[in-house]
Amino acid sequence: MTIQVGDRIPDTNLVKATADGPQPVSSTDYFAGRRVALFSVPGAFTPTCSARHLPGFVDKADELKAKGVDEIACTAVNDAFVLQAWKDSAGAEGKVTMLADGNGDLARALGLTMDGSKFGLGQRGQRFSMVVNDGVVESLNVEEPGAFSVSSADYMIERL
């Protein structure tokens, strides 16, 4: 079942990508006590993710924070080393926190997986965005397969 507005984020293990190396964190601890703009991409360095999705959140970070977002986070079914390299190459340091969901545990717990096997990607997280306020989903925007519109930073800003 797909997570809905008003649901609590399920407790799963994630790995925060940092310049000092991977740091394990539980989703419960990460989302506690703050308002987070979370977006999910099918994979780091993939075309739409690198050209539009991550750059949109990097470019709009100040606007999101002005609308009451405490932190912006990106999750992907990739390892923390890949996400750190992607963050570095995109100039996202200090703007977007990368949360590696290497085994896809969060994507599965949210009910937001996709099968990218046709492209050699295996099981991945769907493209979506949400606002999580103290661990509870405040808004949720899930893309149709192949689309990029409702999970963008611009779409989120318009609705905050």
Nearest to 99 by CA among 23, 160, 155: 23
69 alpha carbon, distance to own chain's centre: 14
Q: Give the pLDDT confidence score for residue 49 in this predicted structure.
A: 67
* pTM (global) more than 0.75: yes
What domains lie within the chain, and their CATH numbers? Answer: 13-159 (3.40.30.10)
Contact 21, 129 (CB under 8 A): no
At 146 the pLDDT is 83
Q: Which of the residues are catalytic? A: 49
Rounded distance between C-alpha atoms, residue 160 and residue 142, angstroms: 16
Q: What is the pLDDT of residue 87?
A: 94
d(CA 65, CA 49) in angstroms, rounded, equals: 21
Which residues of the chain carry a pLDDT beneath 50? none
